Amino acid sequence: MDIYSAEGKKLEDTVLSLLDGKLGQNHHINQDNFYNSVRLAQTLLDRNMRVCGTVRAKKGIPCDIQGEGKRLKRGQSAFGRKGDVMVQVWKDKRRVRMISAIHEATIVNTGRKDKKNME
């Protein structure tokens, strides 16, 4: 097993080598924003693996979603799809970007209240 060291191997190739032997088995994997990208999510989906996690702004998020994300007020969200890969931006104190080939673009009220406003 090779560990990613940014020397010679692309990050996508490293992720695929770590998943070697598991591809095609319909697993779901969760990744943090260092590893996730729209292209990697599509590549894994093509190999029967579904992915979910946070994603960095410069990892292939469509420009229209990026633009909408900048205009969001706290509690609002925007999403876009490319096939089965969904990218969602949600605004809390900061923008949270999520990518998923598992979930739908719904926001569920957890019942938690804002401590400042008690709403």
Q: Which of 47, 5, 10, 11 is nearest to 29 (CA)?
A: 47
pLDDT digits (tens, 9 = 90+) for 60-74: 776 666 666 678 888
What are the distances in angstroms from CA 87 to CA 60, 62, 102, 118? Answer: 10, 9, 11, 30
Asked if residue 90 belongs to a domain, the reply is: yes
Tally of domains in the chain: 1
pLDDT digits (tens, 9 = 90+) for 30-83: 888 888 888 888 999 999 999 999 888 777 776 666 666 678 888 888 888 888
Asked if residue 34 belongs to a domain, the reply is: yes
Q: In one letter, which amino acid is 106?
A: T
Asked if residue 110 belongs to a domain, the reply is: no
pTM for this predicted structure:
0.72
Asked if residue 64 belongs to a domain, the reply is: yes
Containing domain of residue 45, as a range? 11-100
> In degrees rounded to 5, what are phi and psi of residue 50?
-105, 145
Asked if residue 114 belongs to a domain, the reply is: no
pLDDT digits (tens, 9 = 90+) for 98-117: 888 887 777 667 776 666 65
